[in-house]
Amino acid sequence: MTELPHLSASLEDYIETIYHIITEKQVARGKDISARLSVSGASVTEALRALSKRGLINYAPYEVITLTAEGRSIAEDVIRRHNSLKQFFTSVLALDEPLAEEGACKIEHTAPPEIIARMVDFIKFLEVCPRGGKDLIAGFANFCQKGQSAESCATCISHCMENQAGKRLG
């Protein structure tokens, strides 16, 4: 895999926004970006020039904006990081959607890709691990909501052992 160029958090937000607008409308315009990000037209123009200079978008003043192949790749990477973080925050940490969204937006720009990949692997592991699985995740969510486990550890272990024995027999 080729190394993606480093962009500031702000430019990543712009390219992610451009990607989403293009997905919805086939092309993006400066006013769409300005409205979506709640920034001035001048700020959008400056960002578009920077992205164009790096070869990530096709841009000319007063024309539609499209992504280059490299720009699309970078946007998809930012979105993948965002979605992975959000899924971890909601599925594993049992955070509510708005807080998970806010956290994902902030962390997606700074977390090393290896950390995000490991979080994704952890989610996959939890979902299939016979010692945890979806019961473990649900138990943690319950613990977060109530400040205590729904059942004692001994009862939980007993249920896990029964489930494992049932799987071996079935």
Domains of the chain plus CATH, in order, are: 9-75 (1.10.10.10), 79-169 (no CATH)
pTM: 0.73
Task: Residue 52: count other Cβ atoms within 10 Å of its Cβ.
Answer: 16
Record the tokens describing residue 3, joined without a space.
């190394």
On the question of pLDDT at 162 being above 80, the answer is no
pLDDT, mean over the chain: 84
DSSP H or E segment with residue 10: helix 9-25
pLDDT category of residue 130 using cuts at 50, 70 and 90:
low
